Structures are given as structure tokens and as C-alpha cells.
Amino acid sequence: MKAEADQNLIVYFGGQYVPLREARVGILTHALHYGTGVFEGLRAYWDEPAQELFVMRPVEHYERWKQNCGILRIEVPASPEELCGITVELMRRNGFRTNVYVRPIAYKSAERIGVSTDDQDAWAVIALPYGDYLHAEKGLHAGVSSWRRIEDNAIPARAKICGAYVNSALASDEARHAGFDEAIFLTESGHVAEGATCNIFMVRKGKLITPPITDNVLEGITRDSIMELAQGELGLQVLERPIDRSELYVCDELFLTGTAVGIAPVVRVDHRPVKDGAIGAIVRQLQQSYFDATRGHLRAYRRWLLPVYRAQQGPAKDAVRLAETSVA
Ligand SMILES: Cc1ncc(COP(=O)(O)O)c(C=O)c1O
């Protein structure tokens, strides 16, 4: 998705709903120079049959955002429920009837020179129509990056800290120039961590395996959803354990997960086919389950979804309560 965003889009900035063209920050803003911001990424999925837009696990996303802001001692003075209300209001004001990506960002906003931080924080929420991040219909070719994943005691990978994404940008840029679709990071100790903007799973001997959250990965909400679907819908055993690089070359299936990426099968890794080089049966089933769950088609997972238009008559904040009562 490389197209520039429409400047008439309504965004939440400085405590108000304003057109994107009015949401501007100064050139000396601390976060611009030092990367001192924390962002989040949510998706809302349009379901044509129900004529409804569902925000996926918004409370979990906003809880994670607020916790991770705490790592940088940035205060977001709104509860996850209030943030859900703002999200619904943004969708309605923009009249979205398509898949949407939501990008909350909180940052150190003082306009001066000097890396030390103070209590001047600002935050915003942007929602925009968004299609596929990676074109994975035929499966991806991933390459192990020569860049190592950042260590928790340097910049914590579990938080979406703006400056930390230089690590992802370097790996992504290297991968694309080398002809790969996506990069795979190893940790300093040589274990598989994750993709540049996504978590990673492999299937070996019928088990679904993903690196533990202590291996410098972002604690992905899609990762969590996939683990639940794999166990609940497919009856698979799921293991969180370190993965060696060479296991990528001998596994039965490999795929990436993330809010932007979705569930993206990897069919080649470092110029070697994964198994027979075709998209595997387990990842196909998980893609289908995830699609159904995010469109409200699976009753057991409707608790993940916040409907945007069902609460049309009431204020946006009521949508959160309605999600708990009328969707289930
Ligand atoms: C580095 C990284 N890993 C994993 C993920 C996946 O996390 P989630 O499923 O919560 O979107 C993301 C992105 O969103 C990411 O940036």
C-alpha cells in the first residue's frame, strides 16, 4: 500500500476530529529526531453479507499500546474503552465500508534539541482504508536477514517503539533488494525471532511451533488468535519454543502472521522450497478460520469483534457495550 493517504480523511488529533491535512507536527518534535513514540496497528474487516465493519480485538490492542507506552513513560490519558469509542467514531465519520487499518500513535512531543525526555506527550488515532500489505496469494519467498533482531535490553521488541522500526526497515530493505518478499530475523544467539513486521510459525510433524515471547518478538495479537484457532478449530498442539535457523529448511509448513500481513504462507526460504514448495493444508485452514472469525462468521470468536454500525443509533462509546451484549 504505497498510495498517499487522502488529506480529507478525518483523524483524531489533539483531542479533536480534524481532517488529516490539519494534523501536523513541528520539525523539532522529539519523537521525529529520537524515535520516542509508540504506535499500534489494528484492523477492521468489512463483512459484505452483514453490511458490517468489525474491529478486531480492539481492547487487547489498546491495552497493549498503553502498557508499551509505559515502557517509554508516555501517558495516554484515555481508557481502552474510550479509545474503542474514538475508533468507532472515526470509522463512522469517514463512512468506511471496506477493510480498514487503524494506527494509534503516542509520542514525546516537546519541540527542542536534546534526547532526554520530559512529560510532554501527544497522541493521535488515524484510520484509513487498507488492502493487502503483502501479496501472498501464491506464497512468499522469505530470506534470513543479515541484520539481527534488537535485544530486549537495547530496545524492547515487544513494544512497537518507533525507533525500533529502523531494525525492521533495514531488514525489509535488504530483503527486497535481494529479491525476497519478506525478511526473517534471527536473535543474537541465532534463533529464529520473527519477520520484519510479523510473527512466524512453522509446522513440524503435525505440531504448530512459534518462538517464545522471550526471543525478542512482538507479542502479536494475531499470533495469539492463531494459536487459539489452531487449538480450538483444528485441534492442533501448539508449542512456544526456540526455533533453529535450519529448522526453517526442514519444516512442513511456514507462515507469517500480523495485523497488516494477515496469515501469509511462506513457500520458499533462502532459495529452498518449504516441503514441496506449495501452500500447506494447515495454513490454508488457518487462513479460512481467521477470515471467518474476523468477519463474525464464527460464533465462538465474536467476542473478539467490535461492530461499528450496529450501534448506529447510539453514541460510539455504546458500541463497546453492545459488542459484549448483542454480537454474542
Ligand atoms: C515486528 C512485528 N512483529 C509482529 C507483529 C504482529 O503483531 P500483531 O499480530 O499484533 O499485529 C508486528 C505488527 O504488527 C510487528 O511489527
Ligand 1 atom, smallest distance to 222 CA: 9
Q: Measured between alpha carbons, how far is 183 from 191 in angstroms, rounded to an integer?
A: 14
Ligand 1 atom, smallest distance to 64 CA: 10
How does DSSP classify residue 35? -
Tell me how far the alpha carbon of residue 256 lies from the centroid of ligand 1, in angstroms. 10
Ligand 1 atom, smallest distance to 157 CA: 1
89 phi/psi in degrees, rounded to 5: -60, -40
Catalytic residue among 138, 160, 205, 317: 160
Res 132: pLDDT: 73
Between the two ends of the chain, the Cα-to-Cα distance in Å is 33
- The secondary structure of 164-199, three-state, reads HHHHHHHHHHHHHHCCCCEEEEECCCCEEEEECCCE
Residue (of 151, 159, 142) closest to 106 by Cα position: 159
Res 312: pLDDT: 52
> Is residue 262 within 6 Å of ligand 1 at its C-beta?
no
Q: Measured between alpha carbons, how far is 147 from 150 in angstroms, rounded to an integer?
A: 9
Residue (of 124, 104, 106) closest to 18 by Cα position: 124
Residue given cell 525500533 in the structure block: 164
Give the amino acid at 195.
G
How many C-beta atoms surround the C-beta of residue 156 within 10 A? 17
Q: Measured between alpha carbons, how far is 181 from 178 in angstroms, rounded to an integer?
A: 9
Q: Residue 95: which residues within 8 A CB-CB, separation 6 or more?
A: none
Residue 271: is it exposed, middle or buried by C-beta count within 10 angstroms (0-12/13-18/19+)?
Answer: exposed
Give the amino acid at 79.
S
Best residue among 197, 221, 224, 227 to mutate for probing ligand 1, ranked by most atoms within 8 Å of CB: 197
Q: Measured between alpha carbons, how far is 246 from 261 in angstroms, rounded to an integer?
A: 24
Clarify whether 108 is annotated catalytic.
no
Which residue is closest in CA terms to ligand 1's atom 5?
A: 198
> Is residue 287 within 6 Å of ligand 1 at its C-beta?
no
Q: Is the backbone of residue 169 left (phi > 0), alpha (psi -120 to 50) or beta?
A: alpha
> Is residue 259 within 6 Å of ligand 1 at its C-beta?
yes
Res 70: pLDDT: 97
DSSP string for 48-111: TTTTEEEEESHHHHHHHHHHHHHHTT----S-HHHHHHHHHHHHHHHT--S-EEEEEEEEE--B
Number of H helices, E strands in the chain: 8, 17
Res 131: pLDDT: 78
- pLDDT by residue for the chain (328 residues), tens only, comes to 567 889 999 999 999 999 999 999 999 999 999 999 999 999 999 999 999 999 999 999 999 999 999 999 999 999 999 999 999 999 999 999 999 999 999 999 999 999 998 889 999 999 999 877 667 789 999 999 999 999 999 999 999 999 999 999 999 999 999 999 999 999 999 999 999 999 999 999 999 999 999 999 999 999 999 999 999 999 999 999 999 999 999 999 999 999 999 999 999 999 999 999 999 999 999 999 999 999 999 999 999 999 999 865 455 554 554 444 434 3
> Is residue 198 within 6 Å of ligand 1 at its C-beta?
yes
Tell me how far the alpha carbon of residue 198 lies from the centroid of ligand 1, in angstroms. 4
Residue given cell 518449504 in the structure block: 274
